[in-house]
Amino acid sequence: MKTLIKINLLLIIITFSILNVSAQNSSQLISKNGTNTTLQNMAEKAEVLYRPQIHFTPSKGWMNDPNGMFYKDGVYHLYFQHNPDSNVWGPMHWGHATSKNLINWKQEPIAIYPDSIGMIFSGSAVVDIKNTSGFGKNGKAPIVAIFTQHNMEGEYSGRTDFQNQSIAYSLDNGYTWKMYKGNPVIKNPGIKDFRDPKVIWHDATKKWIMVVAVKNKVSFYSSANLIQWTKESDFGEDLGNHDGVWECPDLFTLSNDNKKYWVLTSSINPGGPNKGSATQFFIGDFDGHSFKSNSNKTKWMDYGADNYAGVTWSDNGPEKISIGWMSNWIYAREVPTFNWRSATTLPRTLALKNVNGEMYLTSDASKFMYALPKKIQLLSKGNGKLNVPSLGSAYKISFDQNNLSSYTVSLSNDLGEYLDFGYDSITNQFFIDRTLAGVHKFNPEFAAKHFAPRLAVSKTTGFYAIVDKASIEFFADGGLNVMTDIFFPTVPYTNINIISNNKKAVEQRFELSTFLKN
């Protein structure tokens, strides 16, 4: 029915049936769904349908923001906001996972537990190579974690100083941690929202710099030893979006055209361009004391609904790799996964692009996909049904188009559920439509179509999208336009239809890479 409507609207429809989920598998899932509504069965079904293959998820319990990411001795460390004993937000710990390629993750024992000062909220970690903190022993560099401690009793009793910045250190490369006895290292200045410190080494002033979110702006602090901190300045009260509270900032450098720029990112909730949680960025200069933006435009890292609190890795060299929490505070506590809640986004390499004199951040996840064994199919040659080896595998769809035609890529199943994404040349917008993608009644705001204005000035609309069971990450125009959305089909999508008014362009090169399970 939906396809018929589209035929009337567009000139040519090219249809490829791709995901070859065996009929047996699908019907097993349907009958389970139809006859069994116990929570246990729903949880088992969610494990099969929604547990991603190439994204990190905790084995059980709740997760939100990624925290404290650093790289050392060939290992990427990822910590995360974690409530291990429940699938909703609660007493926050730092969970821990490690990876050698940022795609295959191993969950490690919990890293940092709440104590009498408070729960362990978001923050960062650095390798203190010069042992400025003095925590190192026998010539071994300590890892120092800097985070917010949130005191629940303080909040309930009506105080305003219940969020303070604390530190912990590790002498075994991030596996076990000791709390610093003199915590907190920065006391709350009397503002309820004072959290999520991100610390970097600032080479020009030979100091550690902390950027921390303070209600509707960020503050910068400096330190020689990660213990004593001096307030430097504030930024952002009169720039960017202010429809919500600023959270999880980051500060780093990137180059474009041989010129170095400082990038400041700040998540905000609510206030995102497609409602709820999202991350904005500012580009400009930072001299070790204050940040100056070179534009007064509000700019977003990702226009989808599900990329929040992203920050970059520390100590991995000049490349800036960011990872975010793939959910949105509007409905994160209600998504139908039961045993666990939330995944991280794919890692993304960040870069800068100049668009008509305005500098923008670009994101690219494709490089990390090379680590995965895959099967590649050129769909234009398939002309019909193509087989994908395993149920609900993660896959990448890519498409090079040489003009500005509209296109829609529609992933669908036999129950009539579909997820559409694409580009509309009339409105000059990218979109993801998850209105009828599957289960959505858990929150009235979930079913929606999301839009991203097209920023690029180039004449092509090439894209790639990575789908991993219950998520899509859609990168267009060389990563200038990014949309990340989650969705919950009742049975896996079994078809991919490409709808475009430019048959030639679609036939040119439309490729599917299925990532094979290791």
Q: Which residues contact ligand FRU by CB under 6 A?
A: 64-65, 81, 92, 121-122, 148, 195-196, 247-248, 309
Residue 80 vs 423, nearer CB to ligand FRU: 80
Cβ 150 to ligand FRU shortest distance, Å: 7
What's the number of CA atoms in the CB half-sphere (13 Å) around residue 217?
12
Residue 121 vs 421, nearer CB to ligand FRU: 121
Cβ 190 to ligand FRU shortest distance, Å: 18
Cβ 245 to ligand FRU shortest distance, Å: 8
Tokens representing 372 are 């995965």
Q: Are the C-beta atoms of residues 110 and 95 closer than 8 Å to each other?
A: yes
Question: Edge-to-edge strand order for the sheet containing 308-312?
Answer: 308-312, 321-325, 348-355, 358-364
For strand 93-99 and strand 75-83, is the pairing parallel, antiparallel, or unpaired?
antiparallel
Coil, strand or helix at 5: helix
Q: For residue 469, is it left (φ>0), alpha (ψ between -120 and 50) or beta?
A: left
Residue 200 vs 213, nearer CB to ligand FRU: 213
Cβ-based neighbour number of residue 37 at 10 Å: 9
Q: For residue 389, is it left (φ>0), alpha (ψ between -120 and 50) or beta?
A: alpha
Residue 118 vs 136, nearer CB to ligand FRU: 118
Residue 118 vs 422, nearer CB to ligand FRU: 118
Q: Are the C-beta atoms of residues 496 and 6 closer than 8 Å to each other?
A: no
For residues 9 and 133, give the distance between their C-alpha atoms in angstroms, rounded to a whole number: 65
**Is 65 a residue of the active site?**
yes
Cβ 419 to ligand FRU shortest distance, Å: 25
Q: Are the C-beta atoms of residues 307 and 279 closer than 8 Å to each other?
A: yes
Annotated catalytic residue within 65, 302, 420, 433: 65
Identify the DSSP state of 332: G
For residues 458 and 470, give the distance between their C-alpha atoms in angstroms, rounded to a whole number: 31
Residue 247 vs 306, nearer CB to ligand FRU: 247
| Residues designated catalytic | 65
